[in-house]
Structure 1
Amino acid sequence: MLLLLLLQVLASCLWLGRSEVVTSFESSCPQFFFRETPPNEALEPESPAWICQHYQNQYFFATLYDRKRRIPVYSAYVYQPASGKRPKTWMVEPQLIGPTYPKSMEREYTLLKYSKVSLEEISNSQAILQDYKNLTGLNRGHLNPSSHHSNTTSRTATFTLTNIVPQNEKLNGGAWNNYEQQMMITRTKGCNTTYVVVGAVPGNSYIAKGRVNIPSHIWSGVCCEVDTNHRKAWAVIAENDKNEVQVLTLGELENELTQLYGRDQVSLFDSSCPR
């Protein structure tokens, strides 16, 4: 009997270690953060979920998700841009429903067919495709953009609704797109490894009958390792109702986010990244 109990405990621990919705990024997918240091607790929502975004047997980025507002707080990744086709598949996160569901992101259709789960059960824990239909002036805005990844698999992994916010369509296709496609290329010249954290400040409005929050701001902080002894950093922020992007120092962004969130001082990267 004791042996059976020990085996059950061991199996439980192994399952938890494999889980995609995790208890901390430091112990599960720290590789997406500069010096394995995630942003501090000042950004954490009331109902957080730490997601090591898993697809086809690999982790590709990390997302702190707000279960209540059904948007990501931030997504963190290593910048590795390459040309390629834009994926068309949209997925959701099974383990936001519960720990017994698959750890890899899946299409809604696949979950409904093979995991014996209802659309209502999925929608209780996260945004679904229906939430983003028939939008006016808004579209699905990636925090972690597919174009910042090197191959088809890694680009497809960004097409999960846990990496998406309702974003002003002019901003998404205009100034923010210019930041993602042009400014990042220019700014990262000379960088060996570039760590990025992109986030969304919750706003006061919602889509989908109050289910999904519309952020007031979209922001991005970057820490670049030039070599062992040299680093550089920069940041941007945009109001989500204007087609404008403001360029800041990392320290300026952290101070502005501290004011916007109204909690403790925000820290996005390890202290050795220049402010």
Structure 2
Amino acid sequence: MLLLLLLQVLASCLWLGHSEVVTSFESSCPQFFFRKTPPNKALEPENPAWICQRYNNRYYFATLYDRSRRIPVYSAYLYQPGSGTRPKIWLVEPELMGLSYPKTMEKEWTLVNDYGVSLEQLRKSQAILQDYKNLTGLNRGHLNPSGHHSDSSSRTATFTLTNIVPQNEKLNGGAWNNYEQQTMTSRTQSCNTTYVVVGAVPGNNYIAKGRVNKPSHLWSSACCEVDTNHRKSWAVIAENDKNEVRLLTLGELEDMLTQLYGRDQVSLFDSDCPRE
């Protein structure tokens, strides 16, 4: 009897350890955060989901997802850019429907055809492709961009709708793209490891008949380990109706987010990451 109980506990632990929708990042995919420390609870929505983004049986980044607004709060990843083509598929997160579904992201049609899931069932749990059709002045904006990853699988993993927000198309293809491709390249020249947390501040407007929130701001922050004794950081923020990105210190961004969210003081990285 005792042996059976121990086996049940072990099985439970293995399930939790390999589940994609998890109870905490610290216990499941802490490697995407500096000093294994995720942002504090000041950014948590009322109905959160912690997702260790899994594709081809490997974790590639972490996303805190707002189930009610159907957008990510933030995505965290390691900056490891490389050459390659842009993926052409879009994926969704099955376990947002329930833990009995696949633990790895899948295409919508795979869930419908192979698992008997209806689109109505899927759309109750998250944003779907239909929500992003026929947009005017907006497009699908990555938080974690595919260009910051080094191989085909890691780039494909960013093409999940749990990593996407409705973003101003001029910003997405203009100043924000310049930050992702040019500023990040220059700022990380001396970095051995760069941890990134990029997020979206919920706004007052929605797309898809009120289903998906349009963020008021997008922001990104980075903590760079130059060596064991030296670190540096930087951050940016952009209003989601202007083609303009403001370069900030990490401390300035945390203070701005504290004001925008109106909650406790925001902390995006472990205290060993410099705020100036």
Same fold (TM over 0.5): yes
| CA distance in 2: counterparts of 1:162 and 1:64, whole angstroms | 9
Q: Verify: 1:76 aligned to 2:76, yes or no.
A: yes
Aligned match of 1:168: 168
| CA distance in 2: counterparts of 1:51 and 1:271, whole angstroms | 24
The percentage of counterpart residues that share the same residue type is 82
Aligned match of 1:105: 105
Aligned match of 2:23: 23
| CA distance in 2: counterparts of 1:127 and 1:109, whole angstroms | 14
| CA distance in 1: counterparts of 2:254 and 2:76, whole angstroms | 16
Q: Verify: 1:50 aligned to 2:50, yes or no.
A: yes
Aligned match of 1:273: 273
Aligned match of 2:151: 151
Where do residues 131-150 of structure 1 align in structure 2 (5 Å cutoff)?
Answer: 131-150=131-150
| CA distance in 1: counterparts of 2:100 and 2:83, whole angstroms | 37
Where do residues 251-262 of structure 1 align in structure 2 (5 Å cutoff)?
Answer: 251-262=251-262
Aligned match of 2:116: 116
List, as ranges, runs of 4+ consecutive aligned residues in structure 1 with deviation greater than 3 Å. Answer: 1-10
Alignment CA distance shift 1:80-1:205 (3 Å)? same
Q: Verify: 1:59 aligned to 2:54, yes or no.
A: no
Where do residues 227-266 of structure 1 align in structure 2 (5 Å cutoff)?
Answer: 227-266=227-266
| CA distance in 2: counterparts of 1:29 and 1:267, whole angstroms | 19
Q: Measure how far apart 1:11 and its partner are.
A: 2.8
- Note the residue ranges of structure 2 that are not aligned, 5 or more in a row: none
| CA distance in 2: counterparts of 1:152 and 1:14, whole angstroms | 28
Q: Measure how far apart 1:17 and its partner are.
A: 2.0
Q: Verify: 1:180 aligned to 2:189, yes or no.
A: no
- Give the aligned residue type for 1:59: Y
- Note the residue ranges of structure 1 that are not aligned, 5 or more in a row: none
SS in 2 for 1:210: coil
SS in 2 for 1:180: helix
| CA distance in 1: counterparts of 2:49 and 2:205, whole angstroms | 22
Q: Verify: 1:90 aligned to 2:87, yes or no.
A: no
Q: Measure how far apart 1:208 and its partner are.
A: 0.4
SS in 1 for 2:64: strand
| CA distance in 2: counterparts of 1:10 and 1:79, whole angstroms | 34
| CA distance in 1: counterparts of 2:184 and 2:205, whole angstroms | 30
| CA distance in 2: counterparts of 1:229 and 1:56, whole angstroms | 35
Aligned match of 1:214: 214
Q: Measure how far apart 1:117 and its partner are.
A: 1.2
- Give the aligned residue type for 2:155: R
| CA distance in 2: counterparts of 1:28 and 1:231, whole angstroms | 25
Q: How many equivalent residue pairs?
A: 275
Aligned match of 1:189: 189
Aligned match of 2:128: 128
- Give the aligned residue type for 1:144: N
